[in-house]
């Protein structure tokens, strides 16, 4: 049954053609914004200038960056985002409430929510709706899956062997290595590579649950903050115009949070370690070594491919009405080659030792196929700013620390990649006029403004983007469902015999007293 | 079947432990001496419970020993000079009981628990015991969003029987991290509780 509301029935179907310099500057100022230094009249000119600059670079954003060929967000009612809420809640709740059902049917659930959105959307908006769907799959979904596949494949060929004794010092070093690794091989890859050495080192200990919990905090989440390869939200940011090395700006908050957590871990682990009876088989220690090291070359290739796409301009073409940049296709091709080379050159035994399978990447592919379809109206509405149905939300989040906590709180319970994209778009809708080119807005969000632009009153979005990025990446650690590797680590640890806390046990015993308190301190240091 | 007693000794905790263990060892006895916090035996003294939980030194020690050894220890403490210990009470243990629940995903540990419940020590009975072994080959390997387990053993119940057998079973089961056991509660012979 397809139900179309009055709001849909009245919606104009023609594509949004508003150019940046036609954007109503009053949109932003109309919001009762206490925190964002927006000067309404100054916006139109610099936005136009930036648009000209973009045109000069032949970087065609008319189709690629915005919704110019798609359905304008201001005509979409809020309930069109219900399938998006449905799929995110399904991912959050089914593994907890009906794990066996979810294990066997998650693909069907994802397809269900996608179709609940797609069918009425296409019936109502036809060509414009089709453009939106093709656009998000070609520009966001496929590169996203290719990157995760490449990182996952290369990480699956790296095996850390050896057996250390899990003393507080050794555990601290293992966590530090994992944290530093995560930004370059992805939080999933780093978790997969490092969790078994950590479990082996601590197999003799009775009290080791906290070691795995801090592993989830640091390696599976916070460590991924420094590059777009580290955590899926940041790669989505990269696809949407955030420069590759901009995320290095997170080094201070990430370093601060990591140092604080490592210090707490060391104290806690020392307390537990003192209560342990040391193992009799001390002689069984075996130094760490890494097999499959040649896979680092493929990681370097992936980094190179991503960097290349951010710097090169090789022209563009249109596929089914969607603007495609050739350098992005080169990037995806390089990543696919790196993954294929990793598969061809890595001994099968190494992958077997990692218990490597395609299951995780297939899960991501199925679920994100649904997420990326259903997120279309949510992003369009948010991008419409105060003209859209999400105006109350946009008016409610004003200051960077609001974004840190709102993006973070939602990332704690919903997957952090779509949450990042949602608030990235919210910030654009909030700070800049409706219709602004996304990559131009991304430039402002990165804080890349000339003195003239600052003088003209364009909001420097640096702290906003920093807050959204940090909130989405860091607070994925708040619950098991905040970020994909959390569940994987929990599951591997449980199969190794570790007693892991329940969903609420994890929150009340660890994340609220340790992480949330750390994030409150971080808020005052970096985002207020 | 041996008779066991709970002997409550007043005095500095470490002194009492050392004295009793040293006494038994010096006699060349193989009698086992167990102190309440070493296995997880419930004591009915709330102050001692709190102190034990906080890791504070206690002034009262609950020990479990066979009746013959208990008599010797009592005599030794009573006749010794300059020993700051006093046997406050002795109660003959009738039976012991503990409750457990488990959710085990490690095959080796799961099989250990299944085996322990299959081969129960003589005199031990299970009450409300429930155990399910589930295998799902499709859940093998790592998963991100649907972390089902290939192998799981879940269950709960209570075990009741002679104290020495219950302690053995308790130690065997609690070596598995994913099994949670409540403290052992003791029931005493009539007129002693």
CA distance A89 to B170: 41
pLDDT in tens, A301-355: 999 999 999 888 888 888 888 888 999 999 999 999 999 999 999 999 998 888 7
List CB contacts (< 8 A) between B140 and chain A: 357
User: Are A398 and A461 a contacting pair, CB within 8 Å?
Assistant: no
Count H helices, E strands: chain A? 25, 4
Whether the CB of B177 is below 8 Å from some CB of chain A: the reply is: yes
Q: Distance, in angstroms, between B128 CA and closest chain A CA? A: 23
Angle at A258 between CA A254 and CA A261, to 5 degrees: 145
Instruction: Give A282's pLDDT tier (boundaries 50, 70, 90).
Output: low
pLDDT attached to residue A98: 87
Q: Distance, in angstroms, between A292 CA and closest chain B CA? A: 20
By percentage, how much of chain A surpasses pLDDT 70?
86
CA distance A61 to A74: 20
CA distance A507 to A262: 18
List CB contacts (< 8 A) between B180 and chain A: 499
Instruction: Give A522's pLDDT tier (boundaries 50, 70, 90).
Output: very high
Contacts of A527 (CB under 8 A, 6+ apart): A399, A400, A401, A404, A463, A466, A467, A470
pLDDT attached to residue A54: 39
Q: Which ranges of A414-478 would DSSP assign to H, the alpha helix?
A: 416-431, 438-445, 451-455, 462-474
CB contact under 8 A, B143 and A355: no
CB contact under 8 A, B147 and A91: no
pLDDT attached to residue A426: 87
- Among candidates B143, B176, B180 on the partner chain, residue whose Cβ is nearest the Cβ of A360: B143
Which of B102, B142, B171 best tests the A interface by mutation, with the highest count of A CBs <10 A? Answer: B142
Q: pLDDT higher for A389 or A405?
A: A405
pLDDT attached to residue A189: 87
Contacts of A26 (CB under 8 A, 6+ apart): A40
How many CA atoms does the CB half-sphere of A399 hold within 13 Å? 9
pLDDT attached to residue A37: 37
Highest mean pLDDT among A87-96, A177-186, A348-357: A177-186
Whether the CB of A505 is below 8 Å from some CB of chain B: the reply is: no
Whether the CB of A490 is below 8 Å from some CB of chain B: the reply is: yes
pLDDT attached to residue A28: 33
Among the residue ranges A1-5, A249-253, A519-523, the one predicted with the least confidence is: A1-5
List CB contacts (< 8 A) between B145 and chain A: 91, 95, 106, 363-364, 367, 484, 487
Whether the CB of A286 is below 8 Å from some CB of chain B: the reply is: no
Report the pLDDT averaged over residues B81-98. Answer: 89
pLDDT attached to residue A436: 84
CB contact under 8 A, A492 and B142: yes
Q: At residue A19, does pLDDT exceed 60?
A: no
Among the residue ranges A186-195, A412-421, B18-27, B63-72, the one predicted with the least confidence is: A412-421
pLDDT attached to residue A378: 87
Nearest CA in chain A to B145: A484
What phi, psi does A332 have (nearest 5°)? -65, -40
List CB contacts (< 8 A) between A485 and chain B: 144
pLDDT in tens, B110-155: 999 999 999 999 999 999 999 999 988 877 777 777 777 889 999 9
Classify residue B94 by its DSSP letter. Answer: E
Among the residue ranges B62-71, B91-100, B133-142, the one predicted with the least confidence is: B133-142
Q: At residue A16, does pLDDT exceed 50?
A: no
CB contact under 8 A, A499 and B177: yes
Polymer length of chain B: 193
CA distance A231 to A484: 10
Highest mean pLDDT among A72-76, A110-114, B134-138: A110-114
Strand B125-135 relative to strand B185-188, pairing: unpaired
Q: pLDDT higher for A264 or B85?
A: A264
pLDDT attached to residue B52: 66
Nearest CA in chain A to B106: A495
CB contact under 8 A, A359 and B108: no
pLDDT in tens, B35-51: 887 888 887 677 777 76
Report the pLDDT averaged over residues A176-194. Answer: 91
pLDDT attached to residue A48: 41
Q: At residue A287, does pLDDT exceed 80?
A: no
By percentage, how much of chain A surpasses pLDDT 90?
45
Classify residue A279 by its DSSP letter. Answer: P
Contacts of A271 (CB under 8 A, 6+ apart): none
pLDDT attached to residue A323: 87
Whether the CB of B171 is below 8 Å from some CB of chain A: the reply is: no
For chain A, the farthest-separated pair of C-alpha atoms sits apart, in whole angstroms, at 77
Q: Distance, in angstroms, between A209 CA and closest chain B CA? A: 10
DSSP state string for A25-80: THHHHHS--SSS---GGGSHHHHHHHHHHHHHTT--HHHHTSSTTS--GGGS-GGG
Polymer length of chain A: 528
pLDDT attached to residue A285: 66
pLDDT in tens, A420-461: 988 898 888 888 887 788 888 999 999 988 888 888 888 889
Instruction: Give A1's pLDDT tier (boundaries 50, 70, 90).
Output: very low
Q: At residue A27, does pLDDT exceed 50?
A: no
Whether the CB of B113 is below 8 Å from some CB of chain A: the reply is: no
CB contact under 8 A, B138 and A363: no
Instruction: Give A181's pLDDT tier (boundaries 50, 70, 90).
Output: very high
Q: At residue A210, does pLDDT exceed 90?
A: yes
User: Are A215 and A178 a contacting pair, CB within 8 Å?
Assistant: yes
CB contact under 8 A, B104 and A497: yes
Whether the CB of A91 is below 8 Å from some CB of chain B: the reply is: yes
pLDDT in tens, A377-386: 988 888 777 7
Q: Distance, in angstroms, between A226 CA and closest chain B CA? A: 22
Question: What residue ranges define each of the domains in chain B, with the CATH number in brackets?
Answer: 4-94 (3.30.70), 95-188 (3.30.70)
């Amino acid at each position: 049954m397809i139900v179309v509301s009055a709001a849909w029935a009245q919606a104009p179907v023609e594509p949004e053609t508003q150019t940046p310099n036609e954007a109503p500057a009053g949109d932003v100022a109309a919001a009762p914004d206490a925190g964002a230094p927006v000067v309404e009249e100054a916006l139109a000119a610099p936005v136009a200038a930036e648009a000209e600059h973009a045109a000069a670079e032949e970087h065609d954003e008319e189709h690629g960056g915005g919704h110019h060929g798609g359905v304008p967000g201001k005509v979409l009612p809020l309930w069109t985002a219900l399938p998006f809420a449905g799929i995110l809640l399904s991912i959050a709740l089914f593994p907890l409430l009906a794990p066996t059902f979810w294990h066997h049917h998650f693909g069907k659930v994802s397809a269900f929510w996608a179709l609940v959105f797609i069918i009425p959307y296409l019936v109502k908006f036809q060509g414009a709706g089709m453009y939106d769907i093709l656009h998000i799959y070609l520009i966001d979904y496929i590169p996203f899956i290719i990157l995760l596949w490449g990182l996952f494949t290369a990480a699956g060929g790296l095996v850390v062997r050896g057996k250390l004794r899990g003393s507080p010092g050794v555990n601290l070093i293992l966590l530090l290595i994992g944290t530093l690794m995560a930004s370059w091989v992805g939080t999933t890859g780093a978790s997969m590579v490092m969790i078994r050495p950590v479990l082996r080192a601590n197999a003799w200990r009775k009290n080791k649950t906290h070691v795995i919990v801090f592993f989830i905090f640091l390696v599976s989440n916070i460590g991924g903050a420094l590059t777009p390869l580290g955590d899926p939200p940041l790669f989505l940011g990269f696809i949407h115009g955030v420069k590759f090395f901009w995320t290095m700006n997170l080094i201070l908050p990430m370093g601060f949070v990591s140092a604080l957590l490592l210090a707490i871990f060391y104290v806690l682990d020392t307390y537990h370690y003192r209560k342990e009876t040391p193992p009799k088989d001390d002689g069984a220690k075996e130094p760490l070594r890494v097999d499959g090291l040649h896979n680092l070359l493929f990681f370097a290739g992936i980094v190179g491919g991503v960097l290349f796409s951010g710097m090169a301009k090789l022209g563009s073409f249109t596929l089914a009405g969607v603007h495609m940049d050739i350098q992005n296709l080169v990037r995806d091709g390089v990543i696919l080659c790196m993954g294929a080379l990793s598969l061809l050159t890595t001994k099968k035994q190494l992958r077997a030792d990692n218990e490597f399978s395609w299951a995780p990447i297939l899960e991501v592919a199925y679920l994100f196929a649904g997420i990326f379809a259903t997120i279309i109206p949510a992003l369009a509405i948010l991008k419409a700013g105060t003209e859209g149905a999400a105006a109350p939300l946009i008016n409610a989040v004003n200051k960077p620390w609001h974004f840190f906590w709102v993006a973070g709180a939602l990332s704690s319970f919903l997957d952090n990649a779509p949450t990042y994209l949602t608030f990235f778009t919210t910030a654009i809708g909030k700070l800049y006029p409706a219709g602004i080119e996304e990559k131009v807005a991304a430039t402002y969000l990165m804080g890349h403004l000339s003195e003239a632009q600052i003088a003209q009153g364009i909001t420097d979005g640096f702290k906003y983007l920093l807050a959204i990025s940090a909130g989405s990446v860091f607070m994925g650690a708040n619950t098991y469902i905040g970020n994909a590797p959390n569940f994987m680590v929990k599951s591997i640890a449980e199969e190794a015999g570790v007693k892991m806390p329940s969903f609420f046990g994890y929150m009340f015993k660890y994340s609220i007293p340790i992480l949330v308190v750390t994030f409150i301190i971080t808020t005052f240091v970096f985002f207020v | 079947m041996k008779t066991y007693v709970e002997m409550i000794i007043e005095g500095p905790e470490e002194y009492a432990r050392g004295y009793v263990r040293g006494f038994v060892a010096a006699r060349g006895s193989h009698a086992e001496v167990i102190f309440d916090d070493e296995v997880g035996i419930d004591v009915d003294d709330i102050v001692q419970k709190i102190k034990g939980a906080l890791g504070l030194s206690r002034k009262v020690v609950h020990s479990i020993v066979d009746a013959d050894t208990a008599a010797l220890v009592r005599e030794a403490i009573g006749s010794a000079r300059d020993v700051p210990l006093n046997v406050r009470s002795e109660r003959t243990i009738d039976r012991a009981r503990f409750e457990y629940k488990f959710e085990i995903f490690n095959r080796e540990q799961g099989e250990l628990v299944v085996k322990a419940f299959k081969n129960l020590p003589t005199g031990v009975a299970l009450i409300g015991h429930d155990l399910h072994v589930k295998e799902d080959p499709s859940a093998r390997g790592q998963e991100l969003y649907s972390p089902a387990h290939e192998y799981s053993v879940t269950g709960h119940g209570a075990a009741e029987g002679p104290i020495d057998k219950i302690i053995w079973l308790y130690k065997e089961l609690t070596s598995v991290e994913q099994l949670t056991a409540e403290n052992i509660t003791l029931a005493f012979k009539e007129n002693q509780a």
